[in-house]
Each structure stands twice: as C-alpha cells, then as structure tokens.
Amino acid sequence: MKNVTRNRERGVALFFSIFALLLLTAIAGALIFMASTETSINSNYRQEQTAFFAAKAGIEEARARMMPADPNSINTTAAPLPIVAPTNNATSPIIYIVNPVKGGTAVQPWNAANQWADDELCHDGYTALGLTAVAPDVRCTTANLPTAAYSALTSEIPFNATAYPTATPVPYKWVRVAPKLNASMQGPGTTVNTIYDVNSGVGTGITPVCWDGVNEWVLTILTAANCQQMNSVNSTYMTNVYTLTSLGVSSDATNAARKMLQAEVALNPTPPFPYGLFATSTACPAIVFNGNNASTNSYTSAGGGTYATTQSNYGGDVGSNGGVSVGNGNVAGIVGVLQPPPLGNGACATPLSVGSNGSTLGPNCSTPGVGGCGACPGPTGPNCLANNPTYVPTPYVFPAPPPPNPLPPTTAYSGGNSLVPGSYGNISITGNTTLTLAPGTYSINSLSMAGKGQIAVNPPGAVTLNVAGQGNANPIAIAGNGIVDDSVANDFTINYGGTGAVSIAGNGDVTAVLNSPNAAVTQVGNGNWYGSILAASISISGNAFFHFDRNSALAPANNGYYTLIGFREVPY
C-alpha cells in the first residue's frame, strides 16, 4: 500500500483559527462601536429632551406668572404687562424671566457677549427697538440686541427665596415675554423680507396682534388704540397675544444641548358686559337716583367716536347685585338686577323701583336686537320693556384692585404742578390750580380736588392712578373743573380697592374709568361723568349726568390661565 504525504496542508487549522479570531475581533469591534454610537445617540437625545422640556417649563412658568392672581405675578396693577410694541426705553419694555445656576455664568439675554444671549430677538419683528435686521437662520449679534428695553425678573421654580439661585434649578435659562406683532414670523428663505402677516395688508410690522377667543387679528389702529378697545364680531373686546420665547439647556457647559421654543398665548375675552354704572353691593337699593334730573345715556369712543358724534338715548345701562331706585331720574337703558325670591337668587323683594316722574327706557322694545334696540342680557319679553328690570342669572364678582406696591407715602404732596409717573402721597388741588400729568402709572395715597382745580394730561396719552387711601375716609374727592384728557375714557383709569368714600362734585367734566368695587360713590352737582363707574354703592343727585362710554365697560376680568394658541421650536 502506498502512503500519501499531505505536507502542503500543514498549518491550515492555524490559519482558519486566526481568521476566525480576526473575524470575531472585527465583529466585537463593530459591536463596541455600535454600542458607543448608540450610547452617544441616547446621550444626545437625552440632552435634547432635557433642553426641550426645560424650555417648556420656562414657558409654563411664564404662563402661570402672567396671571394677576399668581403669588409671583409679573402682571400687577403697578406694573401691568405691556400692550404695545416694545421700544428701546424703560417705558415699554420686554420682560425677561432669568434662571441662573448658583455659582454659574450670569444669565443676561440682553447682552450679546453673554453665554445665554437672546440670539432670536432680532427675528421677531420688534423693529421699534432699533435692531439691525439679519437673514433667517442667522443668529442675532451685538448690533442686534437692545440696551434699555428689558425688565429682568428671577425664576421661581424651584421656589427657594432664601437660597436663590439654587445649585440645581430647572435647566432653562430665560423666558422672554412680549406682545406679538404683525409680520413677526420669518419663513424659509435667504432674505429678511420672507415674513408672514397675520392679516395681509393690515397694519404694519410694529402693530400688535389681538385675540377674540377664536382667531388672531391685527389691531386696526385707526379704529382702536389697543386690543382692549377693539371689538370682535361678537362685540367683545379683544385681548393681546403674547409671544413667549424660552431657552432651555441640558447643562451649563458651552457645548450643551440647547432648545429654543416659542408659544403664543392670550387671555380669552370676557363676555360682553352692558353696564356703565354697576354696584357690587346686595343692598336694597345699592344704586339710588335722587332729585328730578339725574340721568344716564351713552356714547362710544371706539373708532375715534366722541360724545358729540355718537351720543345715543339708549345704552346708558345700569346694573346691581342688589336693588336700583331710579326715583324721578331717567335711565336711558336697561336696569340689570338679580331676580327676587322665590324664583331667583336676588336679595331684594323689589329690586327695581321707578318714581312717578322717572323712567328707564330699557331698549323699549319686545324683540331685542331689532329696530335699533340693544340686546338684553337676561330673559326676553316683558323684561326688555321700559320700567321693567332685566334679570341676570348670577351676581357679578369683581376682584378688588390691589393696593400699590410699594405703598406711597402718607404725607401731603407739596411739589410742583407737573408730575411724571411715580409714587406720591396726598395730592390736593385747590383754587385755580391745574395739575398736569404725563402719561403713565401713578401710585398715590389720596386725591382731593376743590374750587376750580383741574387735572390735565399732557402730552396726550393713557394715565392710571392707583390709590392706596391709607388713613383716609375719603381718599378720592373729584370736584372743581374735573379731569381733562381726551374723549377715550379708557385713557384715564382710577383704581381703588378700599372701602373709603369716593365723591364726585362740581361743575366740571370727567372722562375716566373709576374701578372701586368696594367703595361708596356719590355724584352731585352739575358735572358730567363720561366713561364707567364700578362701586359697591352709587348715589347720583341733582343735575349730575352719567354718560356711559360703551367702549369702557368694566366687565369682570378673566384672571385665569393664558390660553395656548400656538407652539413651535425655533431653529436657531
């Protein structure tokens, strides 16, 4: 038998062993690489999600603090949210809520050199800030940020007032709160002119956007000064839309993941409120007309209207949670009261009484809304006829204006006859003195006008008086020659939350809104009040005349949560 020697196959097993080892090594390396990649992807995803939800948390904090009822509200009587386009000064600022880490980099979104600068601001239509325009998808730079157009507040999540900032806050850096403006959204493209209008051809890029509860509308500045004076198709006054921009991060590191989110929010408007004179008290009566000439009628300042051009013998509506005694006066409108028991929940057995020479015109028709008659807010039929009440289903509840914060001094003001917005004590105007107020918000302790004293507003604009009334039983006494502003009652608002007396007398005219739901108001003399009055009780005597500016109804405010209208991620 012949033996065959296969020397050429020697070492094959070793070769295959080495090849298999190399193959397994490659597979193991690939698995390790894939695992490392998956870990990196998961880490990046986690950081992006952390940044996303941190930015969302910032938006939710801003939405909560925009409510006046929030204990850390950024929307107070003394410092309300802006309702006009921001300008590069402190009178109409952007609001920033900042959230630094204890021991970390300061958060200054208004500073382009800061790690957390607001590199989106120049894209959001705030041209009145004097920003340099840049193309979409290009970050804002030093020349694109304002220098004096911001108001900075600190975050309250997590709330720890004694140790703020904390070492472990929710990792968002800032939220910007500002009114939304028309043409503020840039779309895809390479030029700064690629923008979206809310209503094409209406308003400009600096025109605020309003909300009617369903749709956004550009403020028609030729017919209304602000959203609160702009009527919807349902005759409801609109509210401002606000753009909330929030920057969330995964950590304080320079290369940390970032997410910038924007939300559009607005308060849903309150239902139409028809009453120019309204008493919150359940007294029987809470509104009293004394004498033979005390009267009401109406007009509207909407669309540039004046009393001379829009005066109406209807619409001078009066309402009360208690009773109304018209006596021999004349109410050129409806009288709204709660229905008496046992059918209703009113406190007065006879909620409306009319003297032999008195009258209430109602709409004076059996079919509301027909033939030029107004719509009754209560049941139709006989309740819409003259000298009959209109029954409202439930009492109206109004929040009391909070006292000024900080409180003004209680000493007499002894300065000049021209004031700028600020805090003052007891202001007394006598003789032939005219006190000139610049537009803005004033905190005062009391106001007393007598003789031929007068208040004038110059330059023209909106004035708000927040009255504290400390140690004063009659914190508001308006007499003399009244208050001279413009024909828009909403441009002069007097807020008082106390229970002191408010007196209106003299022969002068006043065009204003008086918001004093806990006070007793008396109007006497030959003067005219143009606007609206909210009080606990109201007494009108002599030849005093109340002219309801239907554009200034003090409806119960919607103090609830701001509705989320839109939400998006900003690709910057």
Helix H or strand E segment including 343: none
Mean local confidence (pLDDT), 34-47: 78
Q: Which residues contact 541 (CB under 8 A, 6 or more apart)?
A: 289, 290, 291, 294, 522, 523, 524
Higher per-residue confidence, 8 vs 459? 459
Q: Reply yes or no on whether the pLDDT at 188 is more than 60.
A: no
Q: Reply yes or no on whether the pLDDT at 296 is more than 80.
A: yes
pLDDT of residue 19: 80
DSSP of 345-385: --S-SS-EEE-TT-EE-SS-SSSTTSTTPPPPSS--GGGGS
pLDDT in tens, 219-241: 876 566 778 777 776 656 788 99
Tokens of 446: 């009391």
pLDDT of residue 436: 93
Helix H or strand E segment including 493: strand 492-496
Pairing mode, if any, of strands 277-279 and 463-467? unpaired
pLDDT in tens, 197-206: 565 555 456 7
pLDDT of residue 386: 61
pLDDT band at 71 (very low <50, low <70, confident <90, very high): confident
Mean local confidence (pLDDT), 251-273: 83
- Measured in degrees and rounded to the nearest 5, phi and psi for residue 146 equal -80, 170
pLDDT of residue 570: 85
Predicted TM-score (pTM) of the model is: 0.60
pLDDT band at 6 (very low <50, low <70, confident <90, very high): low
pLDDT of residue 235: 58
pLDDT in tens, 122-149: 888 787 777 776 777 777 776 666 666 6
pLDDT of residue 537: 95
**Mean pLDDT score of the chain, rounded to an integer?**
81
pLDDT of residue 487: 79
DSSP-based three-state secondary structure for 31: helix
Per the document, the length of the chain is 572
Tokens of 138: 């290009």
pLDDT in tens, 302-341: 778 889 898 888 888 899 999 999 888 888 888 889 888 8
Q: How many CA atoms lie within 13 A of 393 on its CB side?
A: 4
